[in-house]
Every structure is written in structure tokens, then in C-alpha cells.
Amino acid sequence: MKSTMRDNTARPERTVDEAIQILWKVIEEAKMYLADERSTSEDKRRWAKVLCDTISVLNKLLTSKGEKPLEDEDLGTLLQKVPRRLQLTIIKGVKKWRKRNF
């Protein structure tokens, strides 16, 4: 019988810097899908949520590392390629995160 437990063999731990690099890659991919005209509105809504959640995690990591979280100017740059109606969804999520964490 096969065990349902995960294989817990030793894996190298990722550093905070590596995690931040991965999050930036996710942000870039989400932006790409949001700008893709072939994506449905439902797909774009999901990618907007991914983008919002990823920015939130990135801000937490930056803060834990002692760095400044993304400022509104940085978010504006990220949101330039996002459709206008989805920008508001992302901004609301980021504002909620800031309100809870600061």
C-alpha cells in the first residue's frame, strides 16, 4: 500500500532573497496573462487575485527582511499593463493588507 505522506527527504532551504526572486517571476507572469487579449474575463479576475496575493506576500517578505515594502509608485508601475477594471481589485486587496499589517 502506498503511503499518502509526503516524502520528507532533505531539500535545500530557500533563502528570503530566492523567495523574493520567485515572487517577482510570479508577478511578471500574472501581468503577462492580464495583458493577454486571449484571456477570458474570469481568467483575468483570477490572475488579478494572484497578483494581489503575490504582492502581499512580497511586501511581508520585504518587511521581514528589514526592507521597505512596495510603495504606491511601484504598484503603479506594476499595474500599468493591467486592465483598468482589474486594477481596482488589486488596489483594494493591497489596501486591506496594509490596513491589517501596519
**2-58 pLDDT, tens per residue?**
555 555 566 667 788 888 899 999 998 988 888 888 988 888 888 888 888 898 888
**69-78 pLDDT, tens per residue?**
776 556 667 6
- State the Cα angle at 99 between 79 and 63, rounded to 5°: 75
Q: What is the pLDDT of residue 26?
A: 93
Whose CA is closest to 59, among 28, 22, 91, 101? Answer: 101
Torsion of CA 89, 25, 56, 16, to 10 degrees: 180
Whose CA is closest to 48, among 77, 98, 84? Answer: 84
d(CA 49, CA 88): 11
* Three-state secondary-structure class, residue 6: coil
DSSP-assigned letter for residue 80: T
Q: Domain-by-domain residue ranges, the chain?
A: 27-101
Q: Tell me the whole-structure pTM to 2 decimals.
A: 0.61
